[in-house]
Structure 1
Amino acid sequence: METRSTRQILALLEKVDAVHGTYYLFMHGWTTVFGTGLATVRLPSALAMILATACVALVGRRVFDQTAGIAAGFVFALVPTVTRFGQETRSYAFVVLAAALATLFLLRALERPGWLRWAAHTLAVAGIGLVNVVGLTLLLGHGVAVLVHCWCQRRWWSVAWFGLAAAAGVAIAAPVILLGMRQSGRQISWIPDSAPWIVWEQVLGSTLLAVAVTALAVVGVLTHLRRDAAARTLMAAVIAMLPLPVILVASTGDINYFFSKYLLFVVPAWAVLAGAGIAALRRAPLVAAALVVLAALSVPGQLTLRADLSPGWYTYPQARAFQPLSYSEAAQVVEAGYQPGDGLVTSGPWWWARELGVRYYLPADVSPRNVFQQRTAAQRNELFGSDCADPARCLRDEPRLWVLLPADVDEPLSKLPKKQSAVLAERYGVAQVTHVTGLTVALLQRRG
């Protein structure tokens, strides 16, 4: 998407991926200025998670105290999925940041109301809606928190301010919301149902950490409900917990929204509650010891989600949903044997984007033509391209063809569409078959 023009991106968003459109457009501008290197495209997500960590610490300090804030920041940073999505070129780090900012700005606005503070909350809410519509369920928790605050203060103006700010934020994101609802059948109808606890483990990227964070959050709520911070504790609890059952109930229909990546926006609030649980130990050595134990519990998840080929393991700590694919390994094979004039053939489901993935790792002077592709995805304003109806007419006497196939395949022509396979079998022979992680790279040599 980053390599498409702005016009092409907008044309695609009318058909699909509207919910990712803000991120696509941002990254299009970012890469136009800074390039498409690995570190460059990962940096925005890393910066978003860094800022989110700061917001978590500030929220913890405002709701509870300094110790709870520091502990909350550490808890958040230790969550393996924070690491994982802090280096992934997707929009999920941005919704985590937007959710953390929205909560921080809400607390600031309730402490000292003013139109600038409520405007900041509006923009944060808009940010949530523009990058993850499901994250707007956070407003339910915010709304209950505002009611609790106003009930304790016996002042109700903040309810009106919150209503206006939330409505304005949703209005800004309305085009994305409406398009996303219209496209949901194509976009996310594939998501399978899973037990809530299994999804929660996937949200945090660790069974051990899921147990620990949940237990610490419960301790944080129970210990602070007995003090003068009861109202603030209740506010923090509803912000963290209320979106989850609402999303779960909303997922009883044809579309499942209770999916680990879509629930990441609640992690900051849960980290705040867990930080309060650690702070209940009071003494600094005990707090430090608790954080060390929590860090130790996170190690298996951290190591796994930092490993090579881990980004596709979105079901961790459960088994992989699919075999990982190493585009870089496949690119090394093609680059090592490439000759000018070589062509390219790809096969398999379009969503693995094998050609795009491999081309990303190839140097500019290694660019084999996709011989059977009639129109590219960008030309069609779609996520996938279209192939020639008559494969024989698309070949241009290329002396050699590189074939990219899924999984381990010993007979590459058998895995291609029948018409393509027939044409290639008549004109080419298999010269080389190389298996890399999740992919097969075959080289065909023209007969005669």
Structure 2
Amino acid sequence: MWRDESVTHQVAHRSLADLWQMLAHIDAVHGLYYLCMHAVFGAWDGGLLALRLPSTVGAALAAAGVGAIGTRLAGRRAGLLAGLVLAFLPHMQRYAQEGRSYALVCAAVTWATYCFVRAMGPRGTALRGGGGHRRSWWAAYTALLSLACWLHVFAALAVVAHGFTLGWLRAPRGVWLRWGKAAATVLTSLLPLVLVSAGQAQRQLGWLAQPGTGTWLQFLALTVAALLLSWACRPRADGRDTGHAGPDTERTILVKLALPLLLAPFALLLTASFLRPWFVERYVLYGMVGLALLAGAALDRALAHRHRLAPVARVLAQALSAAVAVAVLLPWSMSLRSPDSRKDNTVAVAQVVRAHARPGDGVLFLPARRREWLLSTPAVYQALDDLALARNPAASATLQGTELADDAIRRRIRAADRIIALTDPPEQPLDTTAQETAKRETLARYFHACRSSQVRGAQIIVYTRSGQCVPASGR
């Protein structure tokens, strides 16, 4: 469990009153997800399995939705391949096994996109002036997109991507009106969340920096790959791919649906970061749906042309493709399932603290936000005296609690005999607030580092008074 999952775990275990009070001050953007997880833990407090199971279900639903879209627009085999591609994408695998909202957002956007496709009617008839009466599909589209946006506000960028699709397809006025009504309903329903979370944005996203050159190069590479896949799955001029000819065959609709969904949210969030750094890849995870649709259709086209190869060459080509896929994806997939794939490991931190702690020990978190390392293991945390804490997270309606003034922190540290300090690794920059400076200076002046342990993304140091350090072998 890493720090973000630890936040989910401890917040979802608060009472509804405490949770509601916290959302008025911080993390409203994740409010609906926390409420869902509160219900999950209320029904079954199954630890890490319960924490991550909704995300796994969300990823499975997203893959099924991609399969349904691909089947409708490019055939059953293309749909199956697209769903498999989504399931194998490393980004999707990561958030399928993480206790955060992003896989669920992806599932809601995917099925909203399916409803969007169905609202166009068979063979895109709504785009030709027919099938626009499909009110039930527009209603489902509106409801699912609203759900996605309430799970995470940046899902609203999917609405923009769908608008690009309609523009690219030159949709008739009636379709534009129905989509506009749906989009307006979604955005209006989202307005309360936007107003609350806008006031929290600086505290919520203040840790983000401007996207660097590497991020822009990644977007460029993604764009090139998407264009190549679009070319590979382009429809045949004679219409033999879908059974009818014309400029807007299902495969054309697939390309004009998938490309904006993949690129538009990514590009819009990157561009917005020129004004305020808001870009994080996981905020637009649902863009991978577009990539999977393009890849599935391209693979389907490649398989459709395999008859051009001799039988031996066909078998060799398929075996080579499978070997390359395994060689590329398996190491990445295995790496994502190890603790080293995350910034830190709160379970490992708690284990080290449990091993070193003694009754009456004080604990300090440097910086204060690292209190999240122990909040999800209350049996360990509550056995220690939190020397800097003024009000706990629930009482203060915050994620990590509030701390005393620097003078009070100095007094409490000096009154302790043995302190366990949880700090960032040595190479991390130090916070310069008065409280953090007071912690470091008082420890350095009155205590000696007796023992130090490092785990993924964290350092645990046992401080004692001079002459009171007992070597590990003496315990």
Q: Which moved more, 1:398-407 or 1:73-82?
A: 398-407
How far has the Cα of 1:426 moved from its partner?
Answer: 7.1
Structure 1 residue 267 corresponds to structure 2 residue 288: yes
Q: Which residue of 2 aligns with 1:402?
A: 420
Q: Which residue of 2 aligns with 1:122?
A: 142
Identity %: 26
Q: Which moved more, 1:14-23 or 1:84-93?
A: 14-23
Q: Counterparts of 2:152 and 2:299 in 1: how far apart (Å)?
A: 30
Q: Which residue of 1 aligns with 2:338?
A: 307
Q: State how many pairs are aligned.
A: 419
How far has the Cα of 1:310 moved from its partner?
Answer: 0.8
Q: Counterparts of 2:227 and 2:88 in 1: how far apart (Å)?
A: 14
Q: Which residue of 2 aligns with 1:322?
A: none
SS in 1 for 2:58: helix
Structure 1 residue 80 corresponds to structure 2 residue 80: no
Structure 1 residue 358 corresponds to structure 2 residue 374: yes
Q: Which amino acid aligns with 1:267?
A: M
Q: Which residue of 2 aligns with 1:160?
A: 177
| TM-score, scaled relative to structure 2 | 0.77
SS in 2 for 1:345: strand
Q: Counterparts of 1:229 and 1:90 in 2: how far apart (Å)?
A: 43
How far has the Cα of 1:126 moved from its partner?
Answer: 0.3
Cα gap change, 1:301/1:235 in structure 2, threshold over 3 Å: closer, same or farther? same
| TM-score, scaled relative to structure 1 | 0.81
Q: Counterparts of 2:205 and 2:447 in 1: how far apart (Å)?
A: 40
Q: Which amino acid aligns with 1:271?
A: A
Q: Which amino acid aligns with 2:463?
A: L
Q: Which residue of 2 aligns with 1:138?
A: 158
Q: Which residue of 2 aligns with 1:99?
A: 109
Q: Counterparts of 1:401 and 1:45 in 2: how far apart (Å)?
A: 38
Q: Which amino acid aligns with 1:375?
A: R
SS in 2 for 1:280: helix
Q: Which residue of 1 aligns with 2:390?
A: 374
SS in 1 for 2:12: coil
Structure 1 residue 178 corresponds to structure 2 residue 195: yes
Q: Which residue of 2 aligns with 1:336?
A: 355
Instruction: Give CA deviations for 1:345-368 in whole Å, capped at 9, x if unaligned.
Output: 2212x4xx4333235357469621
Q: Which residue of 2 aligns with 1:316?
A: none
Q: Which residue of 2 aligns with 1:320?
A: none
Q: Which amino acid aligns with 2:138?
A: W
Question: Are the aligned partners of 1:150 and 1:158 in contact in 2 as well (CA < 8 Å)?
Answer: no
Q: Counterparts of 1:438 and 1:185 in 2: how far apart (Å)?
A: 25
Question: Are the aligned partners of 1:391 and 1:420 in contact in 2 as well (CA < 8 Å)?
Answer: yes
Question: Are the aligned partners of 1:388 and 1:394 in contact in 2 as well (CA < 8 Å)?
Answer: no
How far has the Cα of 1:70 moved from its partner?
Answer: 0.9
Q: Which amino acid aligns with 2:29?
A: V
Question: Are the aligned partners of 1:78 and 1:295 in contact in 2 as well (CA < 8 Å)?
Answer: no
Question: Are the aligned partners of 1:247 and 1:258 in contact in 2 as well (CA < 8 Å)?
Answer: no
Question: Are the aligned partners of 1:100 and 1:269 in contact in 2 as well (CA < 8 Å)?
Answer: no
Structure 1 gap segments, 5+ residues each: 202-206, 313-324, 410-414
Q: Which residue of 1 aligns with 2:365?
A: 346
Q: Which residue of 2 aligns with 1:247?
A: 268
Question: Are the aligned partners of 2:164 and 2:260 in contact in 1 as well (CA < 8 Å)?
Answer: no
Q: Which moved more, 1:28-37 or 1:108-117?
A: 108-117
Cα gap change, 1:230/1:378 in structure 2, threshold over 3 Å: closer, same or farther? farther
How far has the Cα of 1:333 moved from its partner?
Answer: 2.2
Instruction: Give CA deviations for 1:67-98 in whole Å, capped at 9, x if unaligned.
Output: 11111111111100111011111111122111
How far has the Cα of 1:54 moved from its partner?
Answer: 0.4
Q: Counterparts of 2:238 and 2:152 in 1: how far apart (Å)?
A: 36
Q: CA RMSD in A?
A: 3.4
Cα gap change, 1:239/1:342 in structure 2, threshold over 3 Å: closer, same or farther? same
Q: Which moved more, 1:293-302 or 1:279-288?
A: 279-288
Structure 1 residue 278 corresponds to structure 2 residue 299: yes
Q: Which moved more, 1:262-271 or 1:110-119?
A: 110-119
Cα gap change, 1:210/1:296 in structure 2, threshold over 3 Å: closer, same or farther? farther
Cα gap change, 1:446/1:143 in structure 2, threshold over 3 Å: closer, same or farther? same
Q: Which residue of 2 aligns with 1:318?
A: none
Instruction: Give CA deviations for 1:94-124 in whole Å, capped at 9, x if unaligned.
Output: 2211110111111222226433322211111
How far has the Cα of 1:392 moved from its partner?
Answer: 5.2
How far has the Cα of 1:219 moved from its partner?
Answer: 1.1
How far has the Cα of 1:13 moved from its partner?
Answer: 2.6
Structure 1 residue 46 corresponds to structure 2 residue 56: yes
Question: Are the aligned partners of 1:374 and 1:385 in contact in 2 as well (CA < 8 Å)?
Answer: yes
How far has the Cα of 1:336 moved from its partner?
Answer: 2.0
Q: Which residue of 2 aligns with 1:204?
A: none
Question: Are the aligned partners of 1:335 and 1:362 in contact in 2 as well (CA < 8 Å)?
Answer: no
Q: Which residue of 1 aligns with 2:460?
A: 441
Structure 1 residue 191 corresponds to structure 2 residue 209: yes
